[in-house]
Amino acid sequence: MSVVGVTTYDPVTELWRYRHLLVSLTVRELRIRYKQTVLGVAWAVFVPLSMMCVFTFVFTRAVTLPDSTDLGMPYPLFAYVGLLPWTYFASGLNGCVNSLVSHRNLVTKVYFPREVLPMSCIGAAFVDFLAASFMLILLVIYFHASSDWSFTLRPSVLFLPVVVVTQTVLTVGLGMLLAMANLFYRDVRQVFSVIIQVWMFGTSVVYPLPHSDSWIGRLAFANPMTPIVQAYRDCLIHGRLPDAPSYLYAVAVAVIALVVGWACFHRAGFLFAERI
pLDDT per residue as tens digits for the range 161-201 = 999 999 999 999 999 999 999 988 888 989 999 999 989 98
Provide the pLDDT for residue 2.
45
- What gap in Å lies between CA 47 and CA 233, rounded to an integer? 19
- Give the 3-state secondary structure of 31-82: HHHHCCCCCHHHHHHHHHHHHHHHHHHHHHHHCCCCCHHHHCCCHHHHHHHH
* Report field, pTM of the whole predicted structure over 0.85: yes
Residue 54 binned pLDDT confidence (cut-offs 50, 70, 90)? confident
Q: Span 74-82, mean pLDDT?
A: 93
- What gap in Å lies between CA 9 and CA 194, rounded to an integer? 37
**56, 89, 229 from 164: Cα distances, Å:** 25, 10, 10
- What gap in Å lies between CA 93 and CA 173, rounded to an integer? 10
pLDDT digits (tens, 9 = 90+) for 84-97: 999 999 999 999 99
Instruction: State yes or no: pLDDT of 151 exceeds 50.
Output: yes
Sequence-ordered list of residues with C-beta below 8 angstroms from that of 175, at least 6 positions apart, any chain: 92, 93, 95, 96, 99, 118, 119, 121, 122, 261
pLDDT digits (tens, 9 = 90+) for 216-274: 667 777 899 999 999 999 999 999 999 999 999 999 999 999 999 999 998 887 777 77
Instruction: State yes or no: pLDDT of 5 exceeds 70.
Output: no
